[in-house]
Structures are given as C-alpha cells and as structure tokens.
A and B are shown apart, each in its own frame.
Chain A
Amino acid sequence: MTLLDVKNLKVSYKTYRGILKVLDGINLRIEKGEKIGIIGESGAGKTTTVKAIMRTLPNNAIIEEGEILFNGRDLLRMDEKTFNLIRRRKFAMIFQDPTASLNPVFKVGQQLVDILKYSKEENRDYDELKEEILQAFKEVMLPDPERVFNSYPFQLSGGMRQRVCIAIALATAQELLIADEPTTNLDVTIQDQILRLIKDLVNKKNLSVILISHALGAVRSMVDRVYVMYEGTIVESAKADELFKRPKHPYTVALLRSVPRLTGGGVSQGIKGEMPDYLHPPQGCRFHPRCDYRRDICASKRPPATHIGDHCEVFCHLFSSY
C-alpha cells in the first residue's frame, strides 16, 4: 500500500536575482514500511524535497505544481490545522545537526516531554511522559538516561545529542521517519553505531523511512530503494542492490565512480564541470552539459522515464529506445 506519493512536484525560490527553478517534476513513492534513500550532490534539491513534504519550506519558496499524497490525501492543499495534526502524530524528522535542532536554553528532558505531549492523542501526566522518554533513551543505548534527561544540550557530546534526537523521533513517529543526513557530522565509528541503531528501531516499529545522505555506502546498507537526484530532477531510481551493482544513468555511474574504494585502484577524475546555477537550468536533460554520452536530443527534450525490470526507472535518452 502506498504511504506517500509525490507527483510531479515543482518548487521554485524567489530571490533578488530572479526565480530559481529548483525542483522540476519530482516523482517519489514510498510504500508502507519501505525504506528509501535519496542521494546526490549538495544542491541537488534533496532537502527541498523533504521540506516540501514536511511543509517547512522557507517563505520565498513557491510550489508551482504537483501534489503530495499521504494515504491518499493531498498534504499541500490541506489547511494548516489538519496538516499540523498529521505532521506531529505521523511524521518525525532527524536533522543533520543535532546541536541546531535542540534548544540550548532548555534541559533536554523538558524539550522532549513537550514534544511527546503533543504527538499523542490522549492526555498524559508528566511522570508517564518522562518514563516513556527514559525508555526511549534506553532503546538508543544512551548511558545514564536520568542524567541525560536533566542535562542541557551543550553538556552532551555530538553522538549523544544525535541519539537524543533519534530517541524522540522514534518515540513520536508512527508512520514516516525522515532522516536528513543523520550522521554527516559524526565520526566513522559513531556513524556506524547510529546507523545500526536507526535500522534496528525502524524495523522493530515497521516505519517507512526517507534517508537523505551523500554518504553513499550508508544509504546502500540502510534502504530498500534509492532515488538519485541531480539538479532538481530524479535521474534514476532502483532497488539499492541493483543501483550500486549496475548503475544505469551516466550521472549515477560517474557519481559512484568518484567514491574512493577500500580495495584501492586510485581516485577517479570526478565529474567534469560544476552543477549549473538554478537561475538558468539547462534545457532538456539537466545533466547534458556534463554528460559524456550526450546527443542532440538531450539539449532539447526532457528524457522520459524508461522502465527496466520491475523496480528500475531511468530518465535518460540513451535508454528511451528500449
């Protein structure tokens, strides 16, 4: 059953330089209990996509077109009150920087009690809520939950702060968890611990997950299906295994080749050129100015979706003849 269905989403930002056409027709689908990943370079529009889903886009953003269906209801055309209820009861989000997502002047415990209070329907008293939070702290393996509960965010290490954010996200999330670069600021060993933790708890609660990351290896080990984004468009989507073994779109191929391997073999040249400005995005396929395989058609016509196998979709003219 489809939980979330993003259809032809187009988002622009109004700036003093002009209109930035960021998202250009994004289509995403998440089944119940499915874990998907969104990968791509910074500036590809990954965060804008999830911000649109959470309706936390900044004021200068314009949603030009598209719908976001959650259990069949369009989130974008819902009134604020109804949406707020859905957001706080069904969704949860883990941000990249745990320091910025916790309020520095309140104790961790107080903040979490408030969040938890508004995320559930029934009214509960403080002790009950505290008990649930301490339980959540234990689940994320925070040492000495009672002390963490009574600490200010600055008294905790980066790894512990991120665990706090994960604890509350998992305590409140009922259907969808969005993790936006949850481990980018952390050390490798802590990163591994946090990812394993998220994976275990998500499986236990049978949540749907959107994981955004440019740590490609982390995405590979965490999710079922991957979307590759480039310059505000989705260029490829496939099962995680398939995508990392047999990438199809020229951009995905080049991106994966840029990652240094443990087995050695040197570092590739990277993708030539830079991601173009959103002020004047390229016509046709947005990747064509940097693509080694471009043909005339690429500069004029948007590549249509080509289905290869059951779960693989590529947006590239190289494949559209199939």
Chain B
Amino acid sequence: MKEAPLLIHGLTLGSWHVPAFVVYTWLVMGLLIALSLAVRGSLKPIPGGLQNFVELFIGGLRDFTVNTMGPHGLDYFPLIGTAAFFILLSNLIGVIPGFESPTANLNTTAACALVVFTSTHIVGLKHHGFKYIKHFMGPVLWLAPMMFFIEIIGHIARPVSLSLRLFGNIKGEDLVVLILFLLVPWLIPSVMLGLAVFTSVVQTFVFCLLTMLYISGAMEHAH
C-alpha cells in the first residue's frame, strides 16, 4: 500500500518515533483548547459571534443528554461533551486534503471506547456498590451462572463494537475517497467528501448516544 499523501508523516523526538495520527491528535487537542480559551476569555450575557456558535453545540448536546438520560444525566455531561467534540473534530479534520483523521486509526477509537467502558462500570459501582453484580445475574436467581457468562460476553462486545464501528466508518470513507481519486480525479471524490462530512457527524452522534445508553443502563436498577 502506497504512502498516504499527508502533510506530516510523523515526528522523531529524540529516540521516539511519533506516528502521523498521534501528531494529528495533538493538533485536534490544540484546536479544542484554543477554542475553549478563546470563548472563556470573553463570556458575555448576550453572546456575540464565537460564543453564540459554541453555545449552539453545547445547548443541542445538553438537550440531547437530558432527553436520553433524564435530568440526573447532566452529571456525566462533561464526559459526553468531550467525547462528542473530540470525535467530531477528529472525523472532520480528515476531510481537509493533506490531513488524516486520528479516528481513522484503531488506536484512537479503541482508546475512546475503553474510556467509555471503564466509565460505565465505575458509574455502576458508584451507584450500587457491590449490588452492581446483580446486573449480571439475570431475572431469576437459579439462571445466574449461565446469565453471568452471557452478560460478560455482551459487555465485552460493547467496546469492541464501539471502536470497530467508528474506525471502520472513518477509515472506509478515507479509503473510498483515496481510491476514487485514483480512478476519476477531481469530480467524484468531491461528492464523496460531502458524504464523508455526513458520516462524521452521524458517527459522532451514534457514539454519544451509545455512551449515554450504556451509562444510564448501569445507573438503573437491575431487571
């Protein structure tokens, strides 16, 4: 497979070789921190340009969280908001020619999925204490050994499916644009870039929705 036509292929800091997607992750982090500092420095009661734009996203995300998780879901709003902003910006930055999405690499998406997975279990343990084990027991007590096994497999399938879904979608879009570019330059890939933007937004939405569902599932009472 040929080298991807990126702006930065990777850095070499001393004896460490930093791969390209880590460098782009740092870029996304830098952009998000710069945006937050720019808005925080000039907060006004009647919002002007940039603050208005950011409040659109935050307001929409907040309403979505309250609709899905109920009012006590706002405790977990920072986690969901960070995941949403990071994944959205990471997905979208790959549309720009010469840049690569950090989420087009299984390492980044697996990291996000593992954070969600550990949060789910920590939330469950915090809410229920040791009774959290009842979530794995199933409806009837004498079915517990079999249900335990099945529930463990279902729980392990969650981070696997979260990471693979995000990785596959973004990497697949990347490859489609690249291959179409080799076949029919300039015309068809522009249409596919529009589809890439749509896919990026939808995949962020689905990741956040699943996070909210898993966390609210860990908070509620067992069957």
Asked if A and B bind, the verdict is no
- Give me the interface of A with B, judged by CB distance under 8 Å: none
Interface residues of B (CB under 8 A from A): none
